[in-house]
């Protein structure tokens, strides 16, 4: 009888754990940082946002787009980054990463630190590239977040859920990053 009671208790604990996990997953759907947040839609009536794309000459180009963005700061940042990763729609510019890189979580803390997780199942490490390419990739993301008029003050980049000391040996990503205006081809107004 004791073995049966222990087995019943273990089964109930497992069922409760599964139910709580499913409930937590459902409650996070549609929340900032979840996969259900979609990229901002373009609209001629929307305010302009700035997305920062790499160009072919090793610089970063701020591009203004009329985007319908959320009022929630975390969701807004996520929408901007989804639009950035989708690419510029201009042959002279490039997306900072290829299609194999997607956006994981985006978290904004009370101090204005934004944690951005770039995710790739195909790439356990950030894609290789020289110092200029690495700087363009990193600061394309950082500058897009920080040029937005919101509460974000610095960005911490993660790769597959983990903060790294560098993305390719050239930029120190082991600490929060601010805007690097030295790469901007033309400063936004």
Do 128 and 179 sit in the same domain of this protein?
yes
- Within a domain: residue 42? yes
Percent of the chain with pLDDT over 70: 77
Residue 176 lies in a domain: yes
Residue at 54 is within a domain: yes
User: Is position 18 within any domain?
Assistant: yes
Tell whether 45 and 12 lie within a shared domain: no
Q: What is the 3-state secondary structure (H, E, C) of the chain?
A: CHHHHHHHHHHHHHHHHHHHHHHHHHHHCCCCCCCCCCCCEECCCCCEEEEEEEECCCCEEEEEEEEECCCCHHHHHHHHHHHHHHCCCCCCECCCCCCCCEEEEEEECCCCEEEEEEECCCCCCCCCCCHHHHHHHHHHHHHHHHCCCCCCCEEEEEECCEECCECCCCCECCCCECCCHHHECCCCC
pLDDT tens column, 177-186 = 999 999 998 7
Which residues constitute the domain of residue 14? 1-30
In a domain, 137, yes or no: yes
Q: How many domains does the chain have?
A: 2
Q: What is the pLDDT of residues 66-82, one digit of tens each?
A: 999 999 999 999 999 99
| Domain assignment present for 189 | no
- This prediction's pTM: 0.77
Domain assignment present for 188: no
């Amino acid at each position: 009888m004791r073995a049966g009671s222990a087995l019943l208790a273990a089964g109930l604990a497992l069922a409760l754990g599964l139910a709580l996990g499913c409930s937590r997953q459902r409650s996070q759907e549609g929340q900032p940082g979840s996969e259900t947040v979609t990229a901002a839609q373009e609209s001629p009536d929307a305010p302009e946002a700035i997305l920062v794309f790499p160009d072919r000459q090793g610089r970063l180009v701020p591009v203004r787009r009329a985007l319908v963005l959320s009022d929630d700061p975390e969701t807004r940042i996520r929408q901007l980054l989804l639009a950035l990763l989708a690419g510029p729609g201009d042959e002279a510019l490039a997306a900072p990463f290829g299609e194999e890189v997607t956006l994981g979580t985006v978290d904004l803390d009370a101090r204005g630190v934004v944690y951005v997780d770039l995710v790739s199942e195909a790439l356990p490490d950030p894609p290789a590239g020289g110092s200029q390419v690495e700087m363009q990739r990193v600061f394309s993301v950082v500058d897009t977040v920080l040029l937005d008029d919101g509460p974000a003050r610095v960005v911490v980049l993660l790769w597959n859920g983990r903060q790294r000391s560098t993305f390719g040996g050239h930029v120190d990503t082991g600490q929060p990053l601010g805007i690097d205006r030295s790469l901007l081809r033309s400063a936004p107004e």
